[in-house]
Structures are given as structure tokens and as C-alpha cells.
Amino acid sequence: MRRFTPLPLVLVLALGLAACAADDDPVEPVDEPMEPDMVETMAGPDTTGAAVWAFLGDEAYQTNWGLWPDKGEFYTGQEPHGMLLTTYLNATAMEALQGGATEMPAGAVIVKENYMPDSTLAALTVMVKVPGYNADHNDWFFSKHLPDGTLDQTPDGMAMEGRLTGCQNCHAARAANDYLFTGDLGGEPMASN
């Protein structure tokens, strides 16, 4: 006498055995290329003001980055940046600063929010350390954005991004401090706020 096994039971058993066998097989990792925007976010923005603005938005810098240690929000500033300032650093810049580095490493990003005396945001000035970008000024890329993200302009109508003569000339006074005015590098490691 032949025994009859219902077809659904056979299918369930076959699928179950196949699944168990698949769990025993080693899984080879798949090296899939990263999406271009993922690579850009990991490496920092390219050297355009639009890319810098997009990068800051993607990073949600005000939420995810730290403030310059010992400065906090709305510290006293001076022209050309504004009477009140708030300075943010990405993790790369913060680690260098807290570690006592004498210069910022590639990928460091510093955002200075420039406020009017009544605490109204007037502009954002940004410095990005891009390897090989501008050897004469320690590879800093500069940009100045209005609160809506558009680039501010020089009096002659040039977009304020890149190797800006005014920024470079002013910051050259602090070349020994990696072109930074906010604080001194290379001192005792600093604690974050």
C-alpha cells in the first residue's frame, strides 16, 4: 500500500530544509558602491558654496556638532563677522582641537554664525580644510552664506566662495595658528561645552 503525502506538507518541508541549508552556508560580503552623496557626506563637501550649504543641511550641524569650547552661543564678535557669534565644529575639527593639534586636519569644518546685536542671524561663514585645495593658505576653502543659504557677494558682485582674497588676507594674520582666530591651537587639550 502506498502512502500519500499532501503536496502542501511536502512544499513546507522542502522550503524549511532549504532555509536551514542556506543558514549553514557562509555569506560572502557584497561590496556595493556607495551612493555619491554618501561618499560626499563622509568626506566633506566639495569646493563650491552650494555643496557646503547642502553638506551643512545634511549634517544638521546645529544639532550634531559641538560648539567651540569655552565660547558657547552668542559670544562677542567683531567685524566683519558680526557683534555676536556662535561657532560650531564638526567631529574632525573638535577632535583635533580637544587633542591639542597644532593645525586642523583634512575634513575639518568650522561654521561661524554671524549675528546682529539683536541676535538676528545675518550670515554664516564657513571654513573647510580640503587637501590640496589651496596650499598658500593651508588648504582652507572659505564661504559666506546668507541665512537662506545663498552665497553672499563681494561689492563687485563676486560670489563669496573659494579662495576669497578678503578672507585669506585677514586670516593670514593668524597663519601660525592655522589661520584661525577663535582660539589658539596646540595648547592644552580642551574640553567641549
Q: What is the DSSP string of 94-120?
A: HHHHHTT-SSPPTT-EEEEEEE-TTS-
Q: What is the pLDDT of residues 97-110, one digit of tens each?
A: 999 999 999 999 99
pLDDT of residue 3: 40
Average pLDDT of 127-143?
Answer: 92
pLDDT of residue 33: 35
Q: What is the pLDDT of residues 26-68, one digit of tens each?
A: 333 333 332 333 233 335 677 899 999 999 999 999 999 999 9
pLDDT of residue 41: 37
Using DSSP's 3-state secondary structure scheme, residue 161 falls into strand
Fold of 37-177: Chalcone isomerase (3.50.70)
pLDDT of residue 173: 87
How do the domains of the chain map onto residue ranges?
A: 37-177
More confident residue, 187 or 74: 74
Q: What is the pLDDT of residues 71-126, one digit of tens each?
A: 999 999 988 888 999 999 999 999 999 999 999 999 999 999 999 999 999 999 99
What is the torsional sign of CA 43, 47, 52, 58?
negative
Query: Binning pLDDT at 50, 70 and 90, where does residue 193 land?
Result: very low
Contact 118, 140 (CB under 8 A): no
Please tell me the pTM assigned to this model: 0.74
